[in-house]
Chain A
């Protein structure tokens, strides 16, 4: 019989650090003048001392994620499938290029973490030619992966140095095949986290692999009803300092891409209230309903320039509103969720420390009324004790 040992779970975010022991969660603001490990030791040294390296589990969302550029031959298949897989692996897409028009696209000036090339079913060939190689010569990237027709793979390999060739993401019935590319991207993401100097030092206190936080949260979703009275279907919003993640079950999407995962995830890299505060404000100003929302909250737009507790609250409220807008039919984004069909919205992340139930419900109701012109009221559930993350971390540990 195995004895259940108490575990220490640590989440390093861009803004907060959370440390959880059985039944108790402590939370601290990050001190950016210190290395993460030093910061952690200073703040929770006593707790850390109580645990063996084997019993410490750490996840992090502090690295902000990887960027990708996708080159594919059609919008309906190659680009759509690769985009779907990249999003679900937590990767930020900086652009998608329709190959036949590649000469018309400008080359991104900033380096790209990974380039994905895709096109054609396995029995088709010669989908790419010199214009691809010319484009790539001008681009700065760290990784490149080919997931198109297997017949084209040898040519691609001979023309592009260090290209990784994986099985086609389009099968012979034109359906999506997720697993290989997803695994590759998830591993890159993982390596990126581990490669960050700051994170590397954390291996001084754990013998376990350090995972990305969204991955952990995703693991918790199928078990969420163990902790909360969540009524299906639901969405989960993780609103933090640098990013906002939305997790949703597949049946909420109109898209008929059939995949094996029950839950998908979308990361809005530029919607956060601290690190990406500027871009949050920018997207808010771009939204026609926001002024009305500010009026509803009885503040003026000057609040956006303030650095106060009140301003943080307003930014959090804006973040909820903007994410809901971005996934509704009102804004044509990457996905449109059936928001009128959901019964619960679960909130987790830094937001739960800033807003109370009433303040959250107020925004949700405003969104449904103004944008969807509906009286629909999904239940708002606030995970203010980080139960979801604890659940995910435990789930993962159980799988290991």
Chain B
């Protein structure tokens, strides 16, 4: 299973990105880490070039919201990305925010899994459950 990951926008918080890279590898994923300061187009382009199954975006510094709104308009320009699992995590709003409201908002932006201030391992467990469910559905 291939995963493209990185930190979106002008965000330089690198610690989580390194941990995500290590944890994904430890769980057996093939990881394409674009690192910090990555633009949405580069994320989508990396999925096209690698044939990745999952796009896992981090955002820590408070920029997530702005980028989130760009996701759908940009995705419509790509013809082959419909099956990719889209996941985002980190600090998805400035300050605290209502978790349910954040979930709803980012799902409307086009994300399948939304992990606002959720610990990494919990988030990666959610990803695994999601992928298993998807395989079951497609087999059924």
Contacts and interface: CB of A to CB of B under 8 A. Distances in A.
Q: Do A and B originate from a single complex? A: yes
Contacts of B49: 73-74, 77-78, 119-121, 124, 170, 174
Interface string A321-363: 0000000000000000000000000000000000000000000
A174 B46 CA distance: 8
B109 interface: no
B11 to A, nearest CB: 16
Interface in B1-56: 2, 30, 32, 34, 41-42, 44-46, 48-51
Given A100-B78, A100-B79, A74 B45 contact: yes
Interface string A244-276: 000000000000000000000000000000000
B80 interface: yes
Contacts of A173: 32
Nearest to B52: A124
A75 interface: yes
Given A100-B78, A100-B79, A174-B32, A121 B45 contact: no
Interface residues of B, number: 16
A77 B51 CA distance: 13
Contacts of A77: 45-46, 49
B50 A121 contact: yes
Contacts of B44: 74
A173 B32 CA distance: 6
Contacts of B78: 100
A167 to B, nearest CB: 16
Contacts of B50: 120-121, 123-124, 174
Contacts of B32: 173-174
B80 to A, nearest CB: 7
Contact of A74 (B2, B34, B48): B48
Contacts of A74: 44-46, 48-49
Contacts of A75: 41, 45
A106 interface: no
A76 B45 contact: yes
Nearest to B44: A74
Given A119-B49, A174-B32, A76 B80 contact: no
A329 to B, nearest CB: 17
B18 to A, nearest CB: 15
Interface string A124-138: 110000000000000
A76 B46 contact: yes
Contacts of A123: 2, 30, 50-51
A17 to B, nearest CB: 46
A73 B34 CA distance: 18
A73 B78 CA distance: 10
Interface string A299-318: 00000000000000000000
27 contacts: A73-B48, A73-B49, A74-B44, A74-B46, A74-B49, A75-B45, A76-B42, A76-B45, A76-B46, A77-B49, A78-B49, A100-B78, A100-B79, A119-B49, A120-B49, A123-B2, A123-B50, A124-B49, A124-B50, A124-B51, A125-B51, A170-B49, A173-B32, A174-B32, A174-B34, A174-B46, A174-B49
Ranked 7 nearest A-B pairs via Cβ: A74-B45, A124-B51, A76-B45, A76-B42, A100-B79, A77-B49, A74-B48
